[in-house]
Amino acid sequence: MNKSSGMVPFVIGLVLGILGTIYLPGYVRPYIPGWAMGNTTVVKGTVAAKQKKENALLLTVNTPEGALLATFTRKVDEISLLVNEKDAIEFTLPKYSPLIDDPRIIRIVKEQQAAPEPAPVAKPAEKSAKEAKPRQQGKQQ
């Protein structure tokens, strides 16, 4: 057997392995269960500002560790409809960083708006003998 024929599958496998580790994690990550992903950091914060640019949504989030800027380039319209300023949001990140691209959103808690007080219910006017105004009687002479 020729030595070069044994090297061809090895080189092809090596190239596929290197390219796979570079390009596949972003595509495969949503389908891998959380316990298999390894160490990730859950970052909780409040959305301070929201800005939509052409193909991206920018969220400024205040966290206990400090402020961070999350840039979303996928599902921009859906996230823009779902997230508003002053909402609480949770991300998973490989490590904390002030600038992040397309973080995975775990949870969004909407801002608790003050509930408007219910309008007083108008009771139907019921006229009974007690409530009816007495007629004024003229002076009898």
Region 99-105 average pLDDT: 88
Range of the domain at 94: 36-109
Helix (H) or strand (E) holding 48, with range, is strand 41-53
Instruction: Tell me how many degrees the CA angle 63-86-40 measures, rounded to the nearest 5.
Output: 35
Q: Which of the four pLDDT bands, split at 50, 70 and 90, describes residue 125?
A: low
Q: Is residue 45 part of a domain?
A: yes
- The total of structural domains in the chain comes to 1
| CATH number for position 70 | 2.40.50.140
Please report whether residue 25 resides in a domain: no
Q: What is the pLDDT of residues 36-46, one digit of tens each?
A: 766 778 889 99
pTM of the model: 0.54
Contact call for residues 70 and 87 (beta carbons, < 8 A): no
Task: Specify if 132 maps to a domain.
Answer: no
Residue 4 lies in a domain: no
Q: Token digits for 90? A: 């949770």
Residue 119 lies in a domain: no
Residue 48 within a domain? yes
What's the pLDDT score for residue 25? 74
Euclidean distance between CA atoms 62 and 101, whole angstroms: 16
Asked if residue 5 is part of any domain, the answer here is: no
User: In this predicted model, what pLDDT tens digit does every residue of 1-32 receive, in sequence order?
Assistant: 566 677 888 899 999 888 888 877 777 777 77
Classify residue 139: in a domain, yes or no: no
